[in-house]
Amino acid sequence: MRIMLKSKIHKVIVTQADIDYVGSITIDEDLMNKVGLLEGEKVLVVDNTNGNRLETYVIKGKRGSGIIGINGAAAHLIKKGDEIIIIAFEITDDIISSKSILVDKQNKFLRYL
């Protein structure tokens, strides 16, 4: 078994950070669908702005809203306005084709990478 890259949303901008929320990352449902992320799925979040990294799980955000919300304790590490990468992996014996996308400054899909 190997851990392979499954999904990546590249260069999204955090639109909200809520320390009082009970954990997770909220992601626009359109972006989730583009890369095959499911609600509750574990993701690695890499902050391009400050270098922080953390693992959390996905909560579905309003479709077409561009929302990227950092919730709970993670909001101490990643702030509103930070540029991040959201990455998911799959444990498999197979060679898989990952889905990676690039977004614009409003977190709208630009193209597959």
Interval 44-87: pLDDT, tens: 999 999 999 999 999 999 999 999 999 999 999 999 999 999 99
Inside any domain, residue 57: yes
For position 75, what pLDDT does the model report? 97
Is residue 43 situated within a structural domain?
Answer: yes
Kindly report, residue by residue over 55-66, the tens digit of the pLDDT.
999 999 999 999
CATH classification at residue 92: 2.40.40.20
pLDDT confidence of 22, banded at 50, 70, 90?
Answer: confident
Separation of alpha carbons 36 and 84, rounded Å: 18
Catalytic residue ranges: 24, 57
Per residue, the 3-state secondary structure of 1-30, as one string, reads CEEEEEEEEEEEECCEEECCCCCCEEEEHH
63 in any annotated domain = yes
- Contact at 8 Å (CB) between 113 and 102? yes
Domain tally, the chain: 1
The owner of tokens 């989730």 is 32
Containing structural domain, residue 96: 2-103
This prediction has a pTM of: 0.96
Residue 48 forms part of a structural domain: yes
